[in-house]
Chain A
Amino acid sequence: MSTAAFTLPAVRSNSFARTLRIFLTEARYEFVRLLRTRAFSLAVIGFPVIFYLFFGLIMNRGEHIGSVSVAKYMLGSYAVFGMVGAALFGIGGGLASEFSTGWLELKRASPMPPFAYLVAKCCSAAGFGLVIVSILTLMAITIAHVSITLPEYAQMMALTLVGTIPFACLGMVIALLVPFNATPGVINMVYLPMSFCGGLWMPIMLLPHWLQKFALVLPTYHLSQLVLGCFGYGTAGSAISHWLGLLGFTLVMLGIAAIAYRRLEQNS
């Protein structure tokens, strides 16, 4: 009797440790897989780096508008551009392909906790986001001599981790709704306009008035305002309003994903 009472918690903690290990292994190998997939890693890291190099550093090196350093402002917006790309292509692309080939089905039939699969994808995308933001920051400091304090950098890192989630959800929705072959195209069709209209390429206040209004529904706008807020460059709205904007977008995406997934399941 007493042995049963003692072994039960041991079994529980054992299975908890195993579950934790599954999550970690899954995330680690997803990151390794993405890193080895050159088509993904080169594009997702290369694009923000090249864009920032041209538009943030070569064209505007050392320029200031009022008290705002253009290179530092652009660091904030291209950091968001980079992390959004990693999230959309990492999750949308990966999920769509594994869904269409039947690999996801094999995973679902295994004892892997389904949540581990999504968390692994999300963490890997966030990992890429951290790499991209760090490279851009390093470029800003070395090439444009932008001064960035440690707390500013830490805040950017934290925002990368959290900011990946809404775009991971968007990627999931695209993967569930769009046929596999069309996924990369559709992701670009969403990613690039969303970046422009959210003020990632050009400061939001330079966009036409009606576009500035439209930006309120875009998660890119809210995330970039939060990141720029780390440097004191936020232009519109309170931090709370941006957090609520991201949360609202995430919930809408999760809702659509749930409906789309149920529809697919009924037909399988």
Chain B
Amino acid sequence: MSAVLDPIQAIPSATTAAAVASLSRITKRYANGVVALDDLSLTLHRSEIVALLGPNGAGKSTAVKLLMGLSAPTSGAVRIFDGDPRHASTRLRTGVMLQVGKAPEMLRVREHINIFRGYYPNPVPYADLVRAAGLEGIESRMFGQLSGGQKQRALFALALAGNPDLVFLDEPTVGLDIEARRGMWAEIRSLAARGKTVLLTTHYLEEADALAHRIIVINKGRVICEGTPAEVKSLGSATTGASTSRTLKIIRCVTEVSIPTLLSIPGVTTAGLASGITVISSTEPERTLRELLALDQTLHSLEVQSPALEDAFLALTNN
């Protein structure tokens, strides 16, 4: 009896470990010869929010298009829920929010939502969808009358209409005010909390930092780094000359201590002067600070920061 049960009990752990979506060794060469993706592999798991970052033309949208089954790779394999992304059965489990220049303007928000709900056998109840996307009160407006932020929210509702297990969000919070952006973030987090997978592309690094469990940075069609926001930040600092360390901090202050002296302090990896402010990066910030404060009694305007994702991103994609 137990011999029969065991494999069954093994299934849940096997499925959670299994990839929700994957690109394996993808190369995509367009007819005009441009190579958009070059031997790129990435995997999305259940219940995680993954941010895909990269400068313009890095291959982000090509990668997302492949995952949505809108384009076929030159070589390599695309799998979604162990199926072909172009199959209708796969599409029933995915939701998509794209940068759309214009949706049909002469249809009401309510009509758009109900058209998309109709594509799925078990759509999210209309009222829940309107609440999740924050569309209360503007449901009867024509899409063409909406503001930029309202359009984004309406498109967000369309992506969630089918209660999908995998959601692609391309620049979801463009044009949103701070409050609406926080609202959408909360909604995206709750998707992951309910076991859904979210793939996010964004230009707001702050957004990737705040939302993503994992960040994948791509440039020139290749994955150049992958990890938690903290890991990506420290990797970025590493490429600027510092050793890989999780504790790297940026220290800013006004001090009379000279740069060569600063560089001799334990833990300091770089030091520089920018418009009167001394900027130091240190892998042992506490020790560096103790020495620094002892050296200069007049030191003031002290700030200690973690390296920003933006710095890491620039450092990683620079070459």
Contact = CB atoms under 8 A, between A and B. Distances in A.
A29 B65 contact: no
Interface string A8-47: 0000001100100110011001001100110000000000
Given A15-B121, A102-B98, A25 B104 contact: no
B102 A111 contact: no
Given A105-B98, A266-B30, A266-B31, A22 B104 contact: no
Interface in B88-112: 88, 91-92, 94, 96, 98-104, 106-107, 111
A98 B92 CA distance: 22
A202 interface: no
Contact of A265 (B71, B114, B162): B71
Interface in B61-104: 65, 68-71, 88, 91-92, 94, 96, 98-104
Contacts of B88: 111, 113
Contacts of B68: 109
B162 A267 contact: no
A268 B70 contact: yes
Nearest to B119: A111
A18 B121 contact: yes
Contacts, number: 81
A101 B102 contact: yes
B96 A109 contact: yes
A267 B100 CA distance: 19
A15 B118 CA distance: 11
Interface residues of A, number: 31
A108 interface: yes
Contacts of B168: 109
Given A21-B118, A113-B88, A106 B158 contact: yes
Nearest to A35: B106
Interface in A252-268: 263, 265-268
A110 B104 contact: no
B71 A268 contact: yes
A97 interface: yes
Contact of A103 (B31, B65, B102): B102
Interface in B1-35: 30-32
A102 B70 contact: no
A106 B69 contact: no
Contacts of A236: none
A251 interface: no
B185 interface: no
Contacts of B92: 111
Given A102-B100, A105-B98, A33 B70 contact: no
Among B96, B98, B115, B168: residue with most chain A CB under 10 A: B115
B31 A105 contact: no
Interface in A90-110: 97-98, 100-103, 105-106, 108-110
B99 to A, nearest CB: 7
Nearest to B68: A109
A96 B176 CA distance: 28
Contacts of B99: 102
Contacts of A111: 88, 91-92, 119-120, 162
Contacts of A101: 100-103
B111 A22 contact: no
A187 B208 CA distance: 45
A112 interface: yes
Interface in A185-216: none
**Among all A-B residue pairs, the 5 with the closest Cβ atoms:** A101-B101, A36-B106, A101-B102, A111-B91, A109-B96
Interface of B: 30-32, 65, 68-71, 88, 91-92, 94, 96, 98-104, 106-107, 111, 114-116, 118-121, 142, 155, 158, 162, 168
14 contacts: A22-B118, A25-B115, A32-B106, A98-B104, A100-B101, A102-B98, A102-B99, A102-B100, A109-B91, A110-B91, A111-B88, A113-B88, A265-B71, A266-B31
